[in-house]
């Protein structure tokens, strides 16, 4: 799949989908959109993905496009393996460092970039504390919309929670 997205309003303007049928070589694509459908003064980007099993398993980085140019050749869009999204995601922002908390099946997970940690609640903790299985130095402690996250002994305090 290749899509042209209005990143200002986070909506897809047009897309093209092709079945791979075992083809792993470069696929050519062409997106068409009449100029009157381009929102004025909005940021636009093109992104490619390989969808399988109901989710984007390979993704390209978004490429900004200038709608003032007529025909645009983006060349090859390189794809990188993507992590499966977690269900019921919660974003934890620690002032420039972001973590994601969510469910992978029936396991609560903490994601720190490419690394993931399975978490368990700590019954004896006076607040809401979740610890990585076998590693108490990796944890999440929440109180309302605030959080503290520890990863391998490095603690990030004063974090905000977005559910």
35 phi and psi, to 5 degrees? -60, -30
pLDDT of residue 52: 86
* Residue 6 confidence (pLDDT) above 80: yes
For 144-154, b/e burial (b = at least 16 CB within 10 A) is eeebbbbbeee
SS (HEC) of 76-103:
CCCEEECCCCCEEEEEEECCCCEEEEEE
Strand partners, 98: 93
* Two tokens, residue 160: 């905000």
pLDDT of residue 126: 60
Contact between residue 161 and residue 151 where contact means Cβ atoms under 8 Å apart: no
The dihedral over CA atoms of 52, 57, 62, 63, expressed in degrees to the nearest 10, equals: -70
Q: What value does the mean pLDDT of the chain take?
A: 89
Taken in order 18, 87, 63, 38, the sign of the CA dihedral is positive
- What are the domain boundaries of the chain? 2-81, 87-162
pLDDT of residue 125: 59
pLDDT per position as a tens digit, 76-121: 999 998 888 888 999 999 998 999 999 998 999 999 988 999 999 8
The CA angle 8-14-18, to the nearest 5 degrees, is 135
**Residues sharing a CB contact under 8 Å with residue 60, sequence separation 6 or more, in sequence order:** 47, 48, 49, 77, 78, 79, 80
pLDDT of residue 92: 96
């Amino acid at each position: 799949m290749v899509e042209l997205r209005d990143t200002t309003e986070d909506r897809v303007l047009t897309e093209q989908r092709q079945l791979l049928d075992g083809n792993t070589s470069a696929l050519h694509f062409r997106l068409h959109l009449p100029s009157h459908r381009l929102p004025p003064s909005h940021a636009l980007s093109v992104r490619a993905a390989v969808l399988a099993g109901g989710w984007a398993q390979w993704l390209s980085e978004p490429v900004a496009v200038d709608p003032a140019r007529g025909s645009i050749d983006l060349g090859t869009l390189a794809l990188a393996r993507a992590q499966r999204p977690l269900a019921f995601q919660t974003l934890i922002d620690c002032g420039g460092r972001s973590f994601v908390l969510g469910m992978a099946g029936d396991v609560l997970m903490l994601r720190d970039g490419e690394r993931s940690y399975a978490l368990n609640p700590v019954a004896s903790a006076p607040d809401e504390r979740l610890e990585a299985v076998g590693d108490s130095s990796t944890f999440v402690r929440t109180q309302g919309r605030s959080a503290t996250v520890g990863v391998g002994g490095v603690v990030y305090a004063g974090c905000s929670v977005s559910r």
